[in-house]
Structure formats: structure tokens, C-alpha cells
Amino acid sequence: MDANATTPLLPEVFEAMCPYWMEHFGNASSIHMHGQRARTAVDRARETLAEFFNCHDAEVVFNSGGTEGDNTALFGLLHPGDHCITTSIEHSAILEAARRLAQHGIETTFVAPQPSGLIDPADILRAIRPQTRLISVMLANNETGVLQPIEEIGKIAADTGIFFHIDAVQGAGKVKLDVRRYGCHLLSISAHKMHGPKGTGAMFVRRGTPVESLLVGGSHERRRRAGTENVAGIVGLAKAAELAMHSLGDGTIDRLAALRDRLETEILRIPGTGLNGADAHGEPVARAANTTNIWFDHLEGEALVIALDLKGVAVSGGSACHSGATEPSHVLMAMGLDKNRARASLRFSLLKTATDADVDHVLRVLPEAVEHLRALSPVAAGTLG
Ligand SMILES: Cc1ncc(COP(=O)(O)O)c(C=O)c1O
């Protein structure tokens, strides 16, 4: 139930990668046979990623994952005096990059979401200044799964001549990607969120986008990302992308959404719970098919995460450890939740291999764990602020 943290390799991905560790170990820059075999594998992977993004092969850049893609978009495009627009619910790979840029004379506006978790494109439009050079907005939020109106934001970027980056790390494999439809210049994905290997990712870089490489050295990736290609990782990412494209067409994602909906509906029957990512009428907004985020009043989220772990259920809570202190989720706080409710929220994010039996197990152990913790909780007794 924690697929948004990471996913296991699918067997087909593992098998596709295997020959590239020992047998076909060549450096893709070498001109001899070993190098050419590696080069062919990288070229084929690039074709698959181009199909995955709906772009040209030459617009695909392989890298180390989502953090690198996000950092590249900001550090590679912005110069002192520029202004950047992003949102307050982005991943720390964007937020921390923006904070670093502030020390170099680059200001960022962090647009807040509506209580539903949706960014209003009108707020993006309002934040534009003459110096605005980049807009960066995520496709799917990692905590709530909420899908952002990126096509509308892409139109705003196009109309105003501003570069547009999409962090699609949590959307890839869950919705069909289409960089042409989105109107973006840059888009980042990570293999390990879609059943590929950790430490591997890719970026769409629209032809002519003047993004500078973070890493300099050799002329790899058309000088857009130096460093010997991680051939096995790239092959694994391509296999994962190929399988993801199948899953989007063969009903797997619809099945996943139905499983998630059943889980969510049943959990919400527990008194003192509610959905994070719902509109004013309590209806869920558009979300990635695998994710639901639910608050539980009168208990401590961390205690529930641990209680569930002891029952074999892995979930993430609404707080994270920063510099030794437990802070409530910046995403849920930006959506207007109070600290206690943000802390006592759980994210359930299903693997695409999740089964009815997995959901049944959660529904068996969760109500009991909630009841037990509420009986013990100082929050319930009103003795904890
Ligand atoms: C939305 C989002 N962006 C970026 C990242 C970072 O990706 P990576 O783990 O590949 O560095 C994550 C990972 O949790 C994420 O959820």
C-alpha cells in the first residue's frame, strides 16, 4: 500500500536488464562490438521512451531519476534576475531547488492549492511577472494523487512565452503521457515509481529548449547530461515504460481504480475519517488511480502507521522527519488541514499488482487498529495539542 514511495521491478524488467550487467557490459561510447551492443540497447530504449512521452527520440534524455530531472529544470533554465512559478505542494526536489535559487537572486512564487488539492490555473496566471521564465507544476501529487490541470497551465505558458516543466514522476504509468498535448518544454519521470530500477529516469526536453546540463564532462546524451550511460538501468526503464503503456490500454489501471475505490469507500465508513483530495461536496477530484489519502481524527498518524506495519500493511503517514523533528505534511497543510489532522492522515497507494485479497486484509486490520489507538490516544483525550 506504499507504491508512491517505490515499486518492485516486474519480472520482465529484471529479465530485460540482466544481460547488461555482465554479458553485454560495454560502454555505449566505445566503437568496438561491446560498445555498439550497449549503444543499440540505449537507442532502442530511447525509441520506447519517445513513444511513452509522444516526442522525438532526440528529445529524450536519460538521467538518474526524478530529483535530477526536477533540479535540472530549475538550475538549468533559471538565471539571476529570473522569476519562477511553482506550487507549494511540489516534491522537495522542486521546493528545495527553488530555495537554493533564492540565494542566487532568483525569486519563486509558490502557488497554493485549493482545499481540494487542485491548483487553480488562474492563480498561476496571476503570479506571472515580466521576469517569469519558468513554470513548474506536477502532474500527480505524490501524497494525494490529485491530478493537476496541466493542459490549461500549458496553454497559459504558451500564450505568455514562458517555459513549462512538469514533474510527472507520480503520473507516469498511471495516466497516458503526452508532452505535445501538455504543451510543456520539459517533463521528468523516475523508473522506480513505475516498476523500474531505482536511480534511473528520463526527461523530455523539447527541441531548442536552452536547458543547461547539471553535470558536465563527456558529450553523452547530446551534451545534455554527462556521464557513462547506465545501460542496464536505461533498458529497465524502457521495459517498465513499455509495460506501463500496455497497462494503460488493457484495463489494469481501471481495475486498480476500482480496488482503490473499494478500499476508500470502506475506510470512510469508520467514524471520524475523511478524504484529502475531495471537492466542497466531498466528492473526490480527479486522482491517480492507485492513491487515496484519508484523515483519521482522534489518533496519532505515526502510531497507526506502526500498528499497520505490525499487521503487514505498509502505508505512509502525513508527517515527515525534517532535521530530527516530525513535521506535518507540507501538502496537507497547504490544503488547509490543521496540524493534528495532517499528522493523522494516511496515504494508501496501491501497486498495480495489488489484489482484492490485499484490500480485504487492510479492511480487516485497519478498523481494529483505529479503535485500539483511539482508546489509548492522548489526542483523543484532548491532552495533546
Ligand atoms: C512527485 C515526485 N517528484 C520527484 C520525486 C523524486 O524522484 P526520485 O526518487 O527518482 O529522485 C518523487 C519521489 O518520491 C516524487 O514523488
The predicted-structure confidence for 39-86, as pLDDT tens digits, reads as follows 999 999 999 999 999 999 999 999 999 999 999 999 999 999 999 999
The partner residues of 167 in beta bridges, in order of sequence, read 138, 188
Quick one: pLDDT at residue 318?
79
What is the average per-residue pLDDT within 328-349?
96
Whose alpha carbon is nearest atom 8 of ligand 1? Answer: 66
Across 347-361, average pLDDT: 97
Amino acid letter, residue 119 = I
Find the mean pLDDT for residues 249-260.
Answer: 96
Question: Hey, which of 63, 90, 91, 316 would you mutate to test ligand 1's pocket, going by the most ligand atoms within 8 Å of its Cβ?
Answer: 91
DSSP states of 216-251 as a string?
-SS-HHHHTS-S---HHHHHHHHHHHHHHHHHHHTT
Find the 114 Cα to ligand 1 centroid distance in Å.
Answer: 22
Ligand 1 atom, smallest distance to 140 CA: 1
Which of 166-170, 303-307, 322-326 is predicted least confidently?
Answer: 322-326
Name beta bridge partners: 80: none
Q: How far is Cα 175 from Cα 139, in angstroms, rounded to an integer? A: 9
How far does residue 95's CA lie from ligand 1's centre (Å)? 12
| pLDDT of residue 29 exceeding 60 | yes
pLDDT at 42: 98
pTM, two decimal places: 0.96
> Has residue 12 got a pLDDT over 60?
yes
Q: What gap in Å lies between CA 24 and CA 373, rounded to an integer?
A: 54
Best mutation site among 136, 142, 169 for ligand 1 pocket (most ligand atoms within 8 Å of CB)? 169
**DSSP SS3 for 186:** strand
**At residue 157, does pLDDT exceed 70?**
yes
Residue 53 has, within 13 A of its CA and on its CB side, a CA count of 34
Q: Work out the angle between the directed axes of helices 66-77 and 92-102 (0-180°, nearest 10).
A: 30
One of 18, 55, 184, 321 is an active-site residue; which one? 321
Q: Which of 329, 175, 189 is nearest to 244 (CA)?
A: 175
Whether the predicted pLDDT of 323 surpasses 90: no
What is the Å distance from ligand 1's center to 200 Cα?
11
Nearest-atom number in ligand 1 for the CA of 67 is 11
How far, in Å, is the centroid of ligand 1 from the Cα of 190? Answer: 7
> What CA dihedral angle connects 38, 39, 44 and 49, to 10 degrees?
100
- 383 has pLDDT over 80: no
| Closest residue to atom 9 of ligand 1, CA basis | 66
| For residue 246, pLDDT beyond 90 | yes
Question: What confidence category does residue 322 fall into, taking pLDDT thresholds of 50, 70 and 90?
Answer: low
Residue 175 pLDDT: 97
Q: How confident is the model at residue 310 (pLDDT cuts 50, 70, 90)?
A: very high
Classify the C-alpha dihedral 205-208-214-218 as positive or negative.
Answer: positive
Is residue 274 very low, low, confident or very high in pLDDT (cuts 50, 70, 90)? very high
Strand partners, 292: 348
- pLDDT(385) > 50: no
Helix locations, the chain, DSSP H:
11-17, 33-53, 66-77, 92-102, 121-127, 150-160, 179-182, 220-223, 231-249, 252-267, 301-310, 330-334, 339-343, 356-376
* Residues within a 6 A CB radius of ligand 1: 65-67, 70, 91, 93, 138, 142, 167, 169-170, 190, 201
User: Rounded distance, CA 101 to CA 77, Å?
Assistant: 11
Mean pLDDT across 157-172: 98
CA 138 vs CA 86, 167, 182, 186: distances in Å: 9, 4, 12, 11
Residue nearest to atom 16 of ligand 1 (CA): 142
Q: What share of the chain has pLDDT > 70, as a percent?
A: 96
Quote the CA–CA distance of 106 and 83 in Å, as a whole number.
6
Residue 281 clears pLDDT 90, i.e. is over it:
yes
C-alpha cell at 99: 530555495
CB hemisphere CA count around 194 (13 angstroms): 34
Backbone angles phi, psi at 378, to 5 degrees: -65, -25
CA of 376 to the centre of ligand 1 (A): 35
What amino acid occupies position 177?
A: L
Q: Is 84 a catalytic residue?
A: no
Mean pLDDT across 364-370? 97
The chain-wide mean pLDDT, for the chain, equals 95
Q: Stretch 243-261: mean pLDDT, rounded?
A: 96
